[in-house]
Chain A
Amino acid sequence: MKPIKAIFFPGCLIPIKYPQMEVAIRRTLPNLGVEIIDLEGFSCCPDPIYFQAADKIAWLTLAARNLALAEEAGHDIFTVCSGCTGTLSEANHLLRNDEQLRERVNRRLARVGRKYQGSIAVRHIVVLLREKVGIDRVRESVTRPLTGVRVALHYGCHLLKPSSIMQVDDPDDPQILHQLIEAIGAEPVTHDERFLCCGKACIDPDLPLDMTASVLRSVRKSGADCMGMICPTCFSSFDTGQLLLNRKTKEHFEVPPVYFFQLLGLAQGFSADEVGLTRHRIKPTAVLEKIKA
């Protein structure tokens, strides 16, 4: 079968703060027929919260530069962080549809001999799996199904919304992660607060932790073995945020957050160490016990 070639847009958080997720991505994609193209020169997407809040036109300009680099290389991009997905998808959408804006941004890119053309697609890695690889092929790559493992889904916000731009799934009834979790033999658990934002972007001493705590209580109530997620920013809320909550409150949460591709790696037969799970501060012990990994 012909390999599916796609340009890897690593973003910042995964390669710098959570390289174990990158390890899992690089181990699992070849088993799905994806050939990862590493490209030189990408900057931050840039950050959809603070950079966009500072200067939306500059935000679009840097995003357009990243897209232009991929256009020069001639392949679609896959992203591994919901923030990068949001930034690059929105930039692609706005610049494709607004000629004046595109010219305005291209005047700045022309200074360095680049041009945004709108010729490539941006897909979050789970969308790449659904649309280019196929859920069946994900299922076929499994050598150790995660039978009996209950995964509480956390879609996060920016993979799905705004749906008119993202066009990934119905944000009120998304299926994509359910399908992927089922494909690796695990059981997706929908819990009460599955749509609540992780709160990371609120500038407030309490709001981020309030939202994170509500999600964690809901996951705990559901009896899931771990959380399954696809965004490193959400991950940090449920990892660092959870430890902070345990210090500040009497909650004693023990909810392991896991990046989907680490679970896929386990299902493809890699060890917990090989997909970086031994580096986690809240280890998914119940998951590993159930599959005897």
Chain B
Amino acid sequence: MEAEQAASPHKRIRIDFAQRRRLLAVLGGNHVNYCYQCGACVGDCPTTRFFPSFNPREIMLTALLGDLGTLLAPGSVIWKCSNCYNCYERCPQDVRPVEVIIALKNLAREEGTHPEEAQTIYETILKTGRSAPVIASLKRKRESMGLPPLPAIDMGELRAVLAPEDPPPGDSPPSSTAESES
């Protein structure tokens, strides 16, 4: 009897739907539901080629199961994605795996589990409006090359635009049922 059960092909799978809904609520995360696990994304993934334990099909499966704990843990493989968009190109189901991975990264930042390397450029942009630091000698260098000075960026305007979102007009207090459930 026991042996029969062990040989049964019907393995019980648990899906954490509350966790999966968290991902679906992030822009770009919702297409994961179209994934039928064909693996077209894997064959053309440069990261998989050089680092086989990064497997976009497995990442999509883990996301479908709602196992965000694995995907959002510090040191998660999602950060090894090359952002080449080959999977977006190949996917017959329009899952856009790279977009799902980006949505997962957005969640990882909310949880503070993103790697330090992902922080520097983001912070430089928040501070200066540009992704590369401007060193003092650049002004002279550009001048000597006959280039105009770098235009100024109104950081006050950038900060105002980047301040947290307001609730949509006519909306009663922000409803965040999706978040509070999980």
Which residues of A approach B to under 8 Å, CB–CB? 12-13, 15-17, 19-20, 22-23, 26, 38-44, 46-58, 60-62, 65, 101, 103-104, 107-109, 111-112, 157-158, 161-163, 171, 196-197, 199, 201-204, 206-207, 210-211, 276
Contact = CB atoms under 8 A, between A and B. Distances in A.
Given A65-B157, A158-B85, 20 more contacts: A12-B130, A12-B131, A19-B138, A40-B151, A43-B153, A43-B158, A44-B129, A47-B122, A50-B118, A50-B119, A51-B122, A53-B105, A55-B109, A107-B165, A108-B162, A157-B85, A199-B82, A201-B83, A202-B81, A203-B115
Contact of A202 (B80, B151, B157, B161): B80
Contacts of B109: 53-55
Contact of A51 (B51, B121, B142): B121
B163 interface: yes
B15 interface: no
A104 B165 contact: yes
B85 A161 contact: yes
Contact of B151 (A17, A22, A39): A39
Contact of B83 (A46, A108, A157): A157
Nearest to A193: B46
Contacts of A162: 85, 88-89, 96
Contacts of A199: 46, 82
A53 B82 contact: no
| Interface SS of B by simple majority | loop
Contacts of A207: 47, 50-51, 80, 82
Interface residues of B, number: 60
Contact of B138 (A16, A58, A157, A196): A16
A287 B122 CA distance: 38
A62 to B, nearest CB: 7
Contacts of B138: 16, 19
Interface in B58-97: 79-86, 88-89, 96
Given A53-B105, A56-B28, A211-B46, A202 B147 contact: no
B23 interface: no
A161 B102 CA distance: 16
A197 B132 CA distance: 22
7 contacts: A19-B138, A26-B147, A40-B151, A42-B153, A54-B109, A107-B168, A171-B89
Contacts of A23: 145-147
A104 B88 CA distance: 25
Contacts of B88: 161-162
Contacts of B168: 103-104, 107
Given A23-B145, A56-B27, A56-B103, A111 B160 contact: yes
Nearest to B144: A19
B154 interface: yes
A202 B46 CA distance: 10
A61 B163 CA distance: 11
Nearest to A210: B50
Contacts of A108: 161-163, 165-166
Contacts of B150: 15-16
Contacts of B154: 41
Contacts of B161: 61-62, 65, 108-109, 111-112
A38 B150 CA distance: 10
* Residue picked from B47, B82, B129, B152, most chain A C-beta under 10 Å: B82
* Residue picked from B79, B117, B158, most chain A C-beta under 10 Å: B158
A49 B103 contact: no
A111 B163 contact: yes
Nearest to A163: B89
Contacts of B27: 56-57, 60, 101
A201 B152 CA distance: 28
A50 B88 CA distance: 19
Q: Closest 8 CB pairs between A and B?
A: A161-B85, A53-B105, A197-B84, A43-B129, A203-B79, A50-B121, A201-B83, A16-B132
B178 interface: no
